[in-house]
Amino acid sequence: MPVVCVVGAQWGDEGKGKVVDLYAQYADVVVRYGGGANAGHTLVVGGEKVVLHLVPSGALQPRAQCVIGQGTVLDPKVLLDEIDELERRDLAPERVFVSDRAHVVLPHHKLIDGLREADAGAGAIGTTKRGIGPCYEDKVARRGIRIGDLVDAKTLGERVRANIEAWRPVIAALGGEVPDVDAIVQLYAEYGGRLRPFITDTAKLLWDAMKDGKNVLLEGAQGAMLDVDHGTYPYVTSSTVLAGGACAGAGLGPTAIDRVVGITKAYTTRVGGGPFPTELHGEDGERLRKAGNEFGATTGRPRRCGWLDIPALRFAVQINGMSELAVTKLDILAGLGDISICTHYEGRDGTRYDTPPYDGLEDLTPVYEKLPGWTEDLTKCETIDDLPDNARSYIRRIEELADAKVGMVSVGADRTQTLRLRDPFG
Ligand code: GDP
Ligand code: IMO
Ligand code: MG
């Protein structure tokens, strides 16, 4: 089992960081394959919290190589800050390897992202304003700047100039100020100089690792319902976040992936705009937000909260080919009374939907089943058998409805608060 992929099964923030950190103790290489600093992956070790945006969540395990693949979009400043942080913590930053083919987020990407959101008013997507959309647009338009370009001062200037020219009318129409090309080129050449020792052909690194029988862990960002193809379009991110995206984004073939683990919270959250059928409004939503401390790890925005959405989860299982699920934040449901679980949606004409349709999700009604809750604190549980009967029944019901086994249960943010953790490569 040398290659395992961890992906988000909802709208992001499912607790992927925690699971990847735990799995990374068994891994030789951990790879981020998509997205950028829109991701915020939280790790809690010995009571201390660390949030990583670009460097893989294997960074706090001493051994794993941390690879950032070509499917990502990188803000060099954020990356260098995280590398510096590893250095400060004596965590061997030379374990970080950055793909020469990954794309570079430029200052105007962030500017345009912000201006567009402001311009869209109530129709805004609610992006993280990290420049992700415009950077991926440049990649697909074949005018992007890649990490490898940063170390070639001659071509960097020409490429950045051409890129800014392409955006000039857009920036002007949005009322923004076109940035100074020379200043950007100078700054990004400096970043390139500092990143140079970390830049490599990461697909080759992975190929060699796999040939040597090393354990490779692929770390997804975001979640299935934010996927550019399968998510709640246009309220999605701009990349393929699914396990399938790991092939192109890390540089390995589909036959190389042995196992896909989907991470889901025991309930649902979403940051930003877009449909969310099981959202709880008012006091009920507030109760869940407070209990789960649901505020974004990247932007600090309050997360929208609601009951577990099985149609979305079932869909995520299918389109990712998940071998199993890990359920996080089960501890948060304690003391909330009966627990509702959305088994399917219904259209106005009574049509039943077992997975989300391509459009019109906001017009569907979630149909709930009620399950008895529990009041016991789960955070000290050490095995599945320590869980109250009702919590165990809830997990069993998720397995039946989503058609996937639950391999791991998380009952607290700390590494240690994890039930049924096994070597994923075993
Ligand atoms: P990611 O983006 O999927 O890595 O998730 P985030 O880090 O953005 O958000 C998950 C949040 O839940 C973080 O604050 C974690 O520390 C926290 N967390 C993860 N698992 C658990 C759990 O089982 N219980 C509790 N109470 N918190 C958890
Ligand atoms: P992790 O990896 C939660 C959401 C944004 C917005 C939409 C588009 O921590 O789970 P973008 O900035 O990507 O153009 O924003 O996607 N979004 C996330 N929500 N967790 C994330 O990452 C997210 N990354 C993007 O809130 O709705
Ligand atoms: Mg997050």
CATH of the domain at 334: 3.90.170.10
CA distances from 123 to 128, 132, 268, 295, 384 (A): 15, 18, 22, 22, 44
Q: For a pocket test of ligand 1, which of 6, 10, 11, 13 has the largest count of ligand atoms closer than 8 A to its C-beta? A: 13
CA of 51 from ligand 2 middle (Å) equals 15
CB-ligand 1 contact for 328 (6 Å cutoff): yes
Predicted confidence (pLDDT) per residue in 332-383, tens digit: 999 999 999 999 999 999 999 999 999 999 999 999 999 999 999 999 999 9
Residues 229 and 256 in one domain: yes
Number of domains in the chain: 3
Residues 343 and 274 in one domain: yes
Residues 297 and 278 in one domain: yes
From the list 57, 50, 8, the residue with the least C-alpha distance to 32 is 57
Q: What residues are annotated to the active site?
A: 13, 41
CB-ligand 2 contact for 132 (6 Å cutoff): yes
The CATH number linked to 163 is 1.10.300.10
With tokens 């100089």, the residue in question is: 193
DSSP string, 176-216: --PPPHHHHHHHHHHHHHHHGGGEE-HHHHHHHHHHTT--E
CA 227, 228, 232, 234 dihedral sign is: positive
Predicted confidence (pLDDT) per residue in 61-82, tens digit: 999 999 999 999 999 999 999 9
Instruction: Tell me whether residue 208 is exposed, middle or buried, using C-beta atoms within 10 angstroms of its C-beta: 0 to 12, 13 to 18, 19 or more.
Output: exposed
Task: Give the pLDDT score at 299.
Answer: 87
Mean local confidence (pLDDT), 314-343: 97
Of 231, 260, 289, which closes a domain? 260
In a domain, 425, yes or no: no
Residues 309 and 394 in one domain: yes
Predicted confidence (pLDDT) per residue in 167-202, tens digit: 999 999 999 999 999 999 999 999 999 999 999 999
Tell me, what amino acid is at 322?
M
In a domain, 398, yes or no: yes
With tokens 């959101």, the residue in question is: 117
6 by DSSP, 3-state: which? strand
With tokens 């796999």, the residue in question is: 210
Residues 22 and 55 in one domain: yes
Of 175, 195, 215, which closes a domain? 195
Q: Report strand pairing: 41-45 vs 48-52.
A: antiparallel
CB-ligand 1 contact for 413 (6 Å cutoff): yes
CA distances from 46 to 52, 197, 238, 312, 414 (A): 17, 31, 35, 34, 7
Residues 130 and 170 in one domain: yes
Distance CA(256)–CA(72), nearest Å, equals: 20
Grade residue 1 by pLDDT with cuts at 50, 70 and 90.
low
CA of 128 from ligand 2 middle (Å) equals 6
CA of 154 from ligand 2 middle (Å) equals 35
Residues 310 and 213 in one domain: no
174 by DSSP, 3-state: which? coil
Of 172, 195, 218, which closes a domain? 195
In a domain, 74, yes or no: yes
Distance CA(113)–CA(239), nearest Å, equals: 15
Beta-bridge mates of residue 401: none
In a domain, 394, yes or no: yes
Residues 298 and 370 in one domain: yes
Residues 373 and 242 in one domain: no
In a domain, 426, yes or no: no
- Domain around 240: 3-99+198-260
Residues 270 and 378 in one domain: yes
Residues 17 and 120 in one domain: no
The CATH number linked to 231 is 3.40.440.10
- Residue 154 pLDDT > 90, yes or no? no
CB-ligand 1 contact for 16 (6 Å cutoff): yes
In the chain, DSSP finds a helix count (H) and a strand count (E) of 11, 20
Mean local confidence (pLDDT), 310-319: 98
Residues 378 and 312 in one domain: yes
